[in-house]
Amino acid sequence: MNIAIVGATGNVGRIILEVLEKKNFKVDNLYLLASQKSQGSNLKFNGREIKVELLDNFDFSKVNLTFFSAGGKISEKFAAKAAKNSLVIDNSSFFRMDPEVPLIVPQVNSNHMEKVPKNIIANPNCSTAQLVIVLKPLHDLFKIKRVIASTYQSTSGAGKGPMDEMIEQTQAAINNEKITSKNFTKQIAFNAIPHIDSFSEDGYTKEELKMINETKKILDNKIELTTTCVRIPVKVSHAESVNIEFEKSFTLEKIHEVLNSSDGCKVFDKRSDAGYITPIDAEGKNETFISRIREDKSKTNSLNLWIVSDNLLRGAALNAVEIAETYLRMNK
């Protein structure tokens, strides 16, 4: 199979390369595409150096599969062109709510890929991906009525520049030097910013609306959902504090059982010091981790969870490659 990666030098693009290599994904020819800034640089794949090419001049008729991880504007400009010749898996938000583009987490709704009219499949927001992979098995058993989610999202979710800025600000703060913010609305070092993406007129941010709308599209449009998204000074992995109200009663034993047996989920909940997963623990791991599982005593049939996952891996690169694997199996 001939594969292209658009945005190959970015945070997610590099990890797509790693995932393809670790999975021994069949690759005959690999094309790494980026902007003029990265053109001519080299990245390693399966022990060999591959030169990064300029996206603008690339002939997509040479490939069967294209991963887009370069942001919405690039996907808007180039994805439809690529889709004339190859299957496109897009990590940006541009196509997610298009009714003709499936929005996929393979463990949750792979059946939505039975029809791909535009030859484009969208990858959800990283916070949505880790949320729905946990909600799906619980919804199947206990029927979810309402979800309240507060996210604590790492700086890598905003890109390499913002992640580097967090590190630079931290060093400046420690050295008692002046701190400047280029990628964030306020200082991110030693802080928490309840603002990701732009504000809408109703007071929600676009990030919060993405989670709400994408969860409904992927899982069930009838689920009521509200979110608050917060950026925190962490390099990698997003965490979510989630409250779920079910229509049916449950036992904590059954919750543990179903989550532990669900593909992509791993329960780590010891109710003792360090008996939970933090963002650092989840970095580089494929699983979505669930901790702090407890009954909400203020509301009938309600549950509290702490969900943590590597946003670059589980929330983006790994999910994109698993979409490709699943689609190819379905269309042998």
Q: Residues of 173-211 as b/e, b for ≥16 C-beta within 10 angstroms?
A: beeeeebeeebbeebbbebebeebbeeeeeebbebbbbb
**CA–CA gap between residue 273 and residue 303 (Å, rounded):** 21
SS3 245: strand
265 is catalytic: no
Longest CA–CA separation in the chain, Å: 60
112 is catalytic: no
**CA–CA gap between residue 6 and residue 232 (Å, rounded):** 28
Q: Which of 126, 139, 229, 265 is catalytic?
A: 126
String of DSSP letters for 58-108: --GGG-SEEEE-S-HHHHHHHHHHHHTTSEEEE-SSTTTT-TTS-B--HHH
Q: How far apart are the first and last CA of the chain?
A: 13
Q: Which of 195, 238, 256, 265 is catalytic?
A: 238
Block residue for tokens 């030859």: 119
* Cβ atoms within 10 Å of 16's Cβ, excluding its own: 27
Block residue for tokens 């009938």: 300
Active-site positions read 126, 238
